[in-house]
Structure 1
Amino acid sequence: MHGSLKRILTGAGFLSLTLVIAVAGYRLSGWSLLDSIYMVVITVFGVGFGEMGPMTPQLRIFTMLVIIAGCTSVGYIFGGFFQMITEGEINQALGARRMTKEINTLTRHVIICGYGRIGQILARQMVEAKQPFVIIDNNLTRIETAEAMGFLVRLGNATDEGILESAGIERAKVLATVLPDDAANVFITLTARGLNPNLIILSRGEYPSTEKKLRQAGADHVVLPAEIGALRMSHIIRHPAALSFLEETVDGSSLNELLSQIDVQVDELAVVSGSPLIGSSISTVQVRGKGTFIVVALRRVDGTTLINPSHNVHLAEGDTVIVMGHKGDIPKFAHHYALKRQMRWRGDVVQGQS
């Protein structure tokens, strides 16, 4: 682009200089100012209505030089314009090809359908978490904004199977559809579930009545922004001191960071194949832990979560036990019972065999 712009400016400068010299030449030959300007214009732009005054041999040679210089300048300017257009198209094509190539290399990435207010916040969070993602939106302005941020994008309707496939939905880990249109979110959820049965789908719902439809379409989690906002306002009204404590303690750090100050953490212990805890009850797990932690939740292999599960609930292969306890004790317990441990720390999940 810089080369083509420089070419245009050079041509314009040379043309201006040619016009000034040409007018001065005709004036020196005794022509009036108007006749000189008129002669220069019809000469440079090839109109050629005829001479406006007496033409000496020297003036004819001068006129030929004006024609050559003027036509060369105009051609140089138009060449710069064509170069600019061509470069833009080529760069656009190369950029699209590069982006397609990058998307094709992604695995276990996140697809964000919609780059509105929620989509933009979600994209920033993915950047902070260093989680690769692709944005889909049918609005060219929003796509250009996302592309200017360096994000991988796809322009099109997320309800189209071809667009979802171009975003690598077969290899994706999570799809988040955050459009303000519930009907579109339901259709996207249904389409995405058909393309990737193992995909984790997060769907936005504007109305509580839509939650059931989204889950029937295949959504694993439904987020209702209006309900979340109302609940937060309710908590501020009913429990202002507790909420302020959680938000402001330790310079606004997360709950896990706060717990770490007292040597406590929240962990996930996945019950793997061959674990001696398969078939054991929650009470057995806590007894074997010798009081070093408490079980706060149980996520079943089918994805359902039991908060504060009953002591009589039994574990199965593939279940995940969410516990809270001292940092040094949980790894020992996991190692002893051959559990796959997923430690939650500062909001991230770090997997490690212990």
Structure 2
Amino acid sequence: MASARHPFPPAKRDPGIRRDLGLGVGALLGVVLIGTLWYHGVEQWPWVEAFYMTVITLTSVGFMEVRPLGERGRLFTVALILMGVLSIGFMVNRFTEALIQGHFQEGIRQRKWKKQMEALNNHYIVCGFGRIGRQVAQEFQAEGVPFLVIDQSAEAIQVAQELGYVALHGDSTLDATLLAARVQQAEGLIAALSSDAENLYVVLSARTLNPRIRTIARANTEEALQKLQRAGVAHAISPYITGGKRMAAAALRPRVVDFVDGILSGRDRTFYLEEYELAAQECPYVGQTLGKANLRTRSGALVVAIRRADGQLIGGPSGDTLLQPGDLLLCMGTAEQLRRLGQLLYPRL
């Protein structure tokens, strides 16, 4: 299992480069110290002149000796040059290799990733980056919804990062991984793992860490659907059952299916479906009829249905339908029409 302590995918680079660079810098500083001590202690030069002589010797700038040197001093200077050449050559070699392997770029990438993680708030967590998880991530990106991908496969995480997604390498069934994904600040969680047991475990862990989180889970069997629903999942979805129903609908009502797909997903949509929950303290239209509120004329958006707080669904509500606290309005319109409707319903936000 992947460890949540190291959620970022391991970089493909030589782990000894940083150590070697440190050794090279240390060796060069040691050579400078040796040269300075020699010229000061043996040649009896002042500290500044001793340090200056050491630096111009190691850098080979071609300046004259600070003071005349005897045979012993010149032999030491030759040895100092050789030690400096070896130290600098070693550092240049390792620095070049670090650049080639992307050592420094990797550090920058990890810092950027950490900032992205720290900025996550009211986001969605997508557990599993298989075929379903990738489709979910694609839809979230198209909607501009903040989200995070978790997967145990380093290759899957690499693909997610190449697509520009914030990704976490780890086991989503572990509390430590969910905490690293900021589950306590998350709005929702998508359990899209291939195993029903793992999806159930993820949902239970997430709801324990964040009781208010909204969970949607994949289920492969009808039994798993029932268990996930008993576990408190907001929506348990079987790709096979849903896919079969959609195929039948596409065969019987193809234009309806095309229209619904067009307003539910995709980047190039003209119309959108959106839901708005009415709160007595925030919405000025609670207690009014739909006709008196006149939301259609004021925003251009159409109220398609209303779900009451007790679960009652009112399809195609009329102008006499009373807006009540806790109502969930399902509305359709363009992005601009829905934006105006949101401003009408939540003027204080």
Contact 1:169/1:192 (8 A) holds in 2: yes
Q: CA deviation at 1:151?
A: 1.6
Instruction: Give 2:305's aligned residue.
Output: 296
The AA in structure 1 aligned to 2:305 is V
Is the 1:246–1:255 Cα contact (8 Å) retained in structure 2? no
How many Å separate the matches in 2 of 1:347 and 1:290? 17
Question: 2:194 matched to 1:194?
Answer: no
* Residue correspondence of structure 1 range 316-327 to structure 2 within 5 A: 316-322=324-330
CA distance in 2 between partners of 1:157 and 1:241 (Å): 42
Is the contact between residue 289 and residue 322 of structure 2 (CA under 8 Å) also seen in structure 1? Answer: no
Question: Per the alignment, do residues 86 and 190 of structure 1 end up closer, same or farther by CA in structure 2, a change over 3 Å counting?
Answer: farther
Where does 1:16-31 land on structure 2 (aligned, <5 Å)? none
| Shift, 1:100, TM fit | 2.3
Q: Between Structure 1 and Structure 2, whose CA radius of gyration is higher? A: 1
Alignment pair present for 1:285 and 2:289: yes
Aligned partners of 1:248, 1:90: CA distance in 2, in Å? 44
CA distance in 2, matches of 1:86, 1:127: 32
For structure 1, the 5+ residue unaligned runs are: 5-67, 258-264, 325-343
Contact 1:214/1:222 (<8 A) preserved: yes
Q: Does 1:102 align with 2:102?
A: no
RCO higher in structure (CA 8 A, sep ≥6): 2
What does residue 217 of structure 1 align with? 231
The reply to whether residue 121 of structure 1 matches residue 130 of structure 2 is no
Residues in 1 aligned to 2:294 and 2:104: alpha-carbon distance in whole angstroms: 67
Amino acid at match of 1:298: R
- Are the aligned partners of 2:290 and 2:321 in contact in 1 as well (CA < 8 Å)? no
Q: Is residue 133 of structure 1 aligned with residue 116 of structure 2?
A: no
Specify whether residues 92 and 256 from structure 1 end up closer, same or farther in structure 2 by C-alpha distance, changes over 3 A only: closer
Using the TM superposition, give the Cα deviation of residue 197 of structure 1 relative to its aligned residue in structure 2, in angstroms: 1.1
Question: Equivalent residue for 2:174?
Answer: 160
- List per-residue Cα deviations over 1:59-90 (Å, max 9, x = no partner): xxxxxxxxx9xx98xx8699449943996566
2:243 to 229, 233, 255: 229
Does the Cα contact within 8 Å between 1:109 and 1:131 map onto a contact in 2? yes
Q: CA RMSD in A?
A: 4.4
In structure 2, relative to structure 1, the CA distance for the partners of 1:89 and 1:194 (3 Å cut) is farther
Q: Is the 8 A contact 1:271 1:277 kept in 2?
A: no
Give the CA deviation at 1:106.
1.4
After superposition, residues 10-89 of structure 1 pair within 5 angstroms as: 79-80=93-94, 83-84=97-98, 88=102
Q: Distance in 2 between matches of 1:168 and 1:127?
A: 19
Structure richer in strand, relative to its length: 1
Partners in 2 of 1:167 and 1:225 — Cα distance? 26
Q: Which amino acid aligns with 2:148?
A: V
**CA distance in structure 2 between the partners assigned to 1:87 and 1:147 by the alignment:** 18
- 1:103-160 Cα offsets, whole Å, 9 max, x none, are 1121111111011111111112222212111110001110111122222111111011
- The answer for the alignment partner of 1:338 in structure 2 is none
Aligned residues: 251
Following superposition, the deviation at residue 94 of structure 1 comes to 4.7
Structure 1 SS opposite 2:183: coil
- Superposed CA offset, 1:217-272 (max 9, x none): 221111211111101111123234554676799xx976847xxxxxxx98746242
CA distance in 2, matches of 1:162, 1:98: 21
Change in CA separation of 1:203 and 1:299 when aligned onto 2, cut-off 3 Å: farther
Aligned-partner SS, 1:352? helix
Deviations 1:27-57 (A, max 9, x none): xxxxxxxxxxxxxxxxxxxxxxxxxxxxxxx
**Is the Cα contact below 8 Å between 2:303 and 2:316 reproduced in 1?**
no
| DSSP-derived class of the 2:179 partner | helix
Counterpart amino acid of 1:165? L
Partner of 2:343: 352
The answer on 1:306 being equivalent to 2:313 is: yes
TM-score (norm 1): 0.57
Partner of 1:317, secondary structure, is coil
Letter in 2 for 1:319: D
Shift of 1:188: 0.3
Normalization by structure 2: what TM-score? Answer: 0.58
Amino acid at match of 2:131: R
CA–CA distance in structure 1, aligned partners of residues 295 and 146 of structure 2: 40
The alpha-carbon deviation at position 194 of structure 1 amounts to 0.8
C-alpha separation in 2, matches of 1:202 and 1:348: 28
